[in-house]
Amino acid sequence: MSGAAHNKPLVSVIVSTHNAEASIRRAIESIHGQTYDHYEIVAVDDGSTDRTFSLLSAIADRDVRMQALATSSRGTRSALELALSRCDGDYVLVLDQDGWAEPALLSEGVRMAEENNLELVVGGFSLGAHRSGGSRDAAVTVNGAQKVFLTQHDFRAAAWQLFDSGQLLPTSGKLFSREAIDAYGARFDPSSADDHSFVTSFLRDVERVGVTGTARYHVERSLRSAADAIAGEYDRMEAEHEDLVQLYRHWGLEGDAASMEMLQRRYFERLVECIEDVCAGRYGMSNAERRRLVATMIGTDRAKLAASVARPQSGSAKALVSPIRSGNVGLTYAQAWLASLMRRYTGPSSIAPDTFV
């Protein structure tokens, strides 16, 4: 371990890295450039084979507010959990290795949290997706109006809109109260495919939440690495949907029409994306194997319910409502194959930001 914080910080910035020598300096320097300086950084490198850890160590040697630790390829969640165990701040912010923060991110978040005694501050963010050659294929900014929810009831009633925009589920760029993290038992689960389960476990009993109304956090992500990260997207989607269903059940909002439509639409549109990926031949399966997998995916009660309830927004998802609702494997396959072919030549027309962040 290099460096050590000499006094108790107010904000702990934690980051997990793996082979991030091209982006990690920018990420760390964006924290060093904050207008608010009462912070610490805990960076855990997860078995990098490039110069990432040496870069982190060199920065930590010059900055007593930073710790640099290394583990042997235990996974991102294990690295973040280790970082969480080593930090001392009253608030925790997760930084992506390919993300960066505008100078006012911490000052705005801390001011809102302290003025309103908040347990969570949700900021906006932008996501740029790139091909391996460097050209940007798509970009999206996720942001909403500034709001403060001082009761569980008010927050839960409005949460579907934050989920729907993609703003609520990502872990990074938010301020989490450390006291609330411990009180609610929120942890980074090593068995989870992403960090979203940390957020859903935190949200189960959160009371006071603020939305800043600004997009001060930014991620630039490779489409290749994103595709690798979602190679098991169908299983991940199923698990995440179940987490959200359980969250809303815990909140007692199973009968709320807006919330339930959001959940079903989110599930249906991601199901369609998975089907399109299968039909595009990404996974090296034969045509017969792809058809059998599509039949399995659209044959579940969950898929049929989503097709009956959801009001999808994308054109390809709209085209698949009727085939999936009726269980027509052949038509589903044909429509999804055509949509995947169009994406191959035109690139993605939109991004589901919380799938990538």
The answer to whether the CB of 277 falls within 8 A of the CB of 233 is: yes
Convert 238-295 into a string of H (helix), E (strand) and C (coil). HHHHHHHHHHHHHHCCCCCHHHHHHHHHHHHHHHHHHHHHHHCCCCCCCHHHHHHHHH
The pLDDT, as a whole number, for residue 74 is 86
The pLDDT, as a whole number, for residue 222 is 76
Task: Compute the mean pLDDT over every residue in the chain, rounded to the nearest whole number.
Answer: 89
The position carrying tokens 């991940």 is 236
Cα(158)–Cα(154) distance, rounded to whole angstroms? 6
User: Could you report the per-residue pLDDT of 22-42, keeping only the tens digit for each?
Assistant: 999 999 999 999 999 999 999
The pLDDT, as a whole number, for residue 230 is 38
Helix, strand or coil for residue 31?
Answer: helix
Distance set, CA 150 to CA 155, 211, 273 (Å): 8, 11, 37
The pLDDT, as a whole number, for residue 186 is 96
Type of residue numbered 93: L
* Reported pTM: 0.89
User: Could you report the per-residue pLDDT of 262-317, keeping only the tens digit for each?
Assistant: 999 999 998 998 898 888 876 678 889 889 999 999 999 999 999 999 999 888 88
**What domains, with CATH codes, occur in the chain?**
11-227 (3.90.550.10), 232-356 (no CATH)
The pLDDT, as a whole number, for residue 314 is 80
Q: Give pLDDT < 70 ranges for the chain.
A: 1-7, 131-138, 223-232, 282-283, 342-352
The pLDDT, as a whole number, for residue 236 is 85
The pLDDT, as a whole number, for residue 14 is 98
